[in-house]
Amino acid sequence: MVFEPGEILLDRRAIPREIAFAVAAVIARLRGGAVVLPPRAIVGNSRASLAAHRLHCRFASRVYWRDQVSFRKIGVGTVVPDIAFGCDIRDGLPWDDRETLVVSLRGDRPSPSAAWFTAVDAWSKSNGLRVVTVAQVVEDEDRAMSIANQLGAVHYRWTDTPDVHEERVRELYGSARMVISDRLHVLVLASLGGAVPTEMVTGPRQKVRSHFAQIGLEGISLDLSETSTAEATEFLSAQLLRRSEVRARVREAHDEIRDLKTSVERLFVA
């Protein structure tokens, strides 16, 4: 049995589900099978659900977490990079040929502040970068278009099937020096394409910060509610100097996930 990776909601409604999964894990193990829980992160804090999930984890063959907070809640398993770091690494354009700043913000959160627009506009112009907005997830399309209109930027419209759009997006990341986003997997794929991943929004959540800290990349997130425009542009300039560090850490995370995948495959072959 292999469960889904990603976020797992452990509120009160999850209690029956988690008990059923624990029972299924016991049966699978008694019959000589293996149970694997790929890299996950916990959302919700129901004590009963956490207890049931902890039992599920104790009966599993392998348990992986993608952040330290989730691991500490359960106390079983191993903390590893997010599974998306296992996607292919792409060279993209040479650094000196990259002239793009890509922006991809969530559509389900408040629109960026005036300070955000000022900082992005001033910094991109001072560095000679063309701003391009894109939605990696279709529900962010309206937000991407709105930001492009306000910045006078280019917008990559979602006009294809998801698999074709994904390829277009990854090519775009491969032409960027930096990608600003508050979506974890936008920044992961951007970093795999050689761009510097940066989160700069008002009131960022812990998710991006903690998952990149897990691979050794601290300080990629900035809360604009506590920052002046000048400090924001200084932050972006400092981030751009980290491209070698980003490349090294992302490569390490990529190799770790690939090794984990091989290990799990061997477990099932055995």
Q: What are phi and psi of 2, to 5 degrees?
A: -125, 120
pLDDT band at 159 (very low <50, low <70, confident <90, very high): confident
CA distance 198 to 87: 19
Q: How many CB atoms lie within 10 A of CB 167?
A: 10
Q: Minimal CA–CA distance to 110: which of 197, 225, 207?
A: 225
Tell me: pLDDT of 269 over 90.
no
Which pLDDT tens digit goes with each residue over 7-18? Answer: 999 999 999 999
Q: Looking at the DSSP assignment, which residues form a beta bridge with residue 17?
A: none
Q: Around 29, how many Cα atoms within 13 Å sit in the side-chain half-sphere?
A: 15
What's the pLDDT at 103? 98
Which pLDDT tens digit goes with each residue over 83-112? Answer: 999 999 999 999 999 999 999 999 999 999
Residues 6+ apart with CB under 8 A from 104: 133, 134, 135, 136, 140, 144, 179, 180, 181, 183, 186
Which pLDDT tens digit goes with each residue over 46-83? Answer: 899 999 999 999 999 999 999 999 999 999 999 999 99
Tell me: pLDDT of 145 over 80.
yes
CA distance 49 to 169: 38
What's the pLDDT at 189? 97
What's the pLDDT at 158? 84
Which pLDDT tens digit goes with each residue over 184-202? Answer: 999 999 999 999 999 999 9
CA distance 143 to 150: 11
Which pLDDT tens digit goes with each residue over 220-262? Answer: 999 998 888 899 999 999 999 999 999 999 999 999 999 999 9
Mean pLDDT, range 108-131, rounded to an integer: 94
| Amino acid of residue 87 | C
Q: Which letter, b or e, does each residue of 97-134 get, where b requires 16 or more Cβ atoms within 10 Å of its Cβ?
A: ebebbbbbbbbeeeebeeebeebbbebbeeeebebbbb
Tell me: pLDDT of 270 over 80.
no
Contact 8, 41 (CB under 8 A): yes
Tell me: pLDDT of 161 over 90.
no
